[in-house]
Structure 1
Amino acid sequence: MHTTQFNIEYILYICYMKKAFSLLSLCVVALLALTSSSCEKDETPKPDPVDTIVLSEKGKILTDTIWRYYEYYKNFQTSGSTLVWKTNRSANTLDLHLNKVKFNKDGSYWEITEKGDSLKGTWHFTNNETQIVVNSTSTFTSDIRVLTANQFEWEVVNGTTYGVMMKRFPESDKTQTVAQLLTSKKWKYETYFYNFPLASADLVWRIGKPNNTYTVLDQLTVEYKADGTTVETYKDGSIVRGTWRLNSDATHLTVTPNGGIDFECVIKVLNGTRFEWNRVDQSYYYYGEMIPADATVGGAARR
């Protein structure tokens, strides 16, 4: 009697344990499956947030880059305009090599000043995007004179300053010879300076600038022919012919107008869209910046 009862209880115990073990096994399997599924979900990359900020074409160009100063002028509206900063110039009134400005899509902006300090603020367009307003330590409103993918020029409203900012500063093209670059197009003047070695050089001509004092450059074009001749065509249609030649390492250009005296200059920048030179005579007194005569971007957009 006792043996039979023991056997029955033992059998019931074994059955109970088997069921409990099976249930536990199922729970473990389910937990592992859930954990595996959870891990797989975590590994799935989340989509990038949708950019809901809609910008105009000007806004896209302005916010696409970090802008740095290439040149900076004072008294721009007057006949006494001066160049107070130019990148890679030995003497400047201002030192803007640290300055950087970034306009963000959300209307914020940051700036590194000439002292290396960081400023933050806001910006927005106004007057049909012909002006930009910047709010930081104070509020500045500027006329937008030029805005392209590589160049941003502004003039402070009711002020005296004019900034030329760029994404990439111009460099000479080393993939072509100097002769090839010079003769590949007709050139015109964008900017012209007197007293270039001085910390405040005189800005005597710039396309679109009021009160230029060296107006002979207005619509003047210069051609360097492959046969070594030059053709200068003036606004009134008059033409001056001459010759040109390079020194042995093609760093100096000498032009001799017919019946005139030699004009020798150091080539500072020369590529397909820009030609900058500094005359050697009179202690490098004259400095010219030229662009293709048919240019419709950059500073040329003002003419």
Structure 2
Amino acid sequence: MLVNYANEVEAADGLRQSYETIRKEIAKVIVGQDDVIKSVLVAIFSNGHCLLVGVPGLAKTLLVQTVARVLDLDFNRIQFTPDLMPSDIIGSEILGENRAFKFIKGPVFSNIILADEINRTPPKTQAALLEAMQEKSVTASGVTHKLQQPFFVLATQNPIEQEGTYPLPEAQLDRFMFNVSLDYPTFAEELQVVRNTTGTSVSEVNKVLNAEQIIYFQQLVRNIPVTDNVLEYAVRLAAKTRPQGELATPAVKRLLTWGAGPRASQFLVLGAKCHAVISGKYSPDIEDVQAVAKAILRHRIVRSYQAEAEGLSADQIIEQLF
């Protein structure tokens, strides 16, 4: 049942409380990775998709499965391999018993899709997700089929092993709200992981929200007011990454060959709104924009040879823009 809030301030408090409860439930299974969990939940409440980049064994898949259980959403995992075909994702038409074609839905027809190792499949198959991620629908044989709502794609990618992989096209990357980097756990966290996973105990998580409540909170995030100076800061930050643009600094022209598009500006504002609410505020400020900027911009900028020669990462260049 959807909770009826008296006003948007009370609803914002409800979102913040739900967020804290969700984090506590996820912490029963996932040790550490607080920033990663925060980014995934901000993406979900902002109605965006998330790309998780990390070496094997950092619980990327387990995190997505746990989020799906806590949010009480339908979940499907798609293992991306070189021989995967678009019909294996969106579905296909078959000839039925009455000699009429009928559409058999593929695994993309679910609330949360885990696109495991998304860069291991050719661009033709990667492109099968483009319409689903943007329009929340798929088209087969000229017929458009709407997907379940809410709908999220949480994709994983291994940054080390590049043999047999296909880099994601820029159009595909741009549809991900966040590019989240996972790092190794600390010694204490890894000790806790081993202690929890080498015994017989199994951690059970409680369901906190349902699909209807998530859709309600997504609309609430969009209704959060934003001041003109924060809006202008977000748009200016994205525009400063474009070396051909009027706001580009000499450093940007030297270090970048391509910058972020308007979708980055939209995600900066939406992400800042959600980040503000879960931080106990009712309107975002510049610090909220900066808090989500790296994850939003790092996969939308292309470094120049000069930047690579100097060993500058995308995050370091983004920090200079602040």
Superposition TM-score tier, normalisation by shorter sequence: under 0.3
Q: Indicate the structure with greater strand content.
A: 1
**How high is the TM-score relative to the length of structure 1?**
0.25
Greater RCO (CA < 8 Å, at least 6 residues apart):
2
**How high is the TM-score relative to the length of structure 2?**
0.24
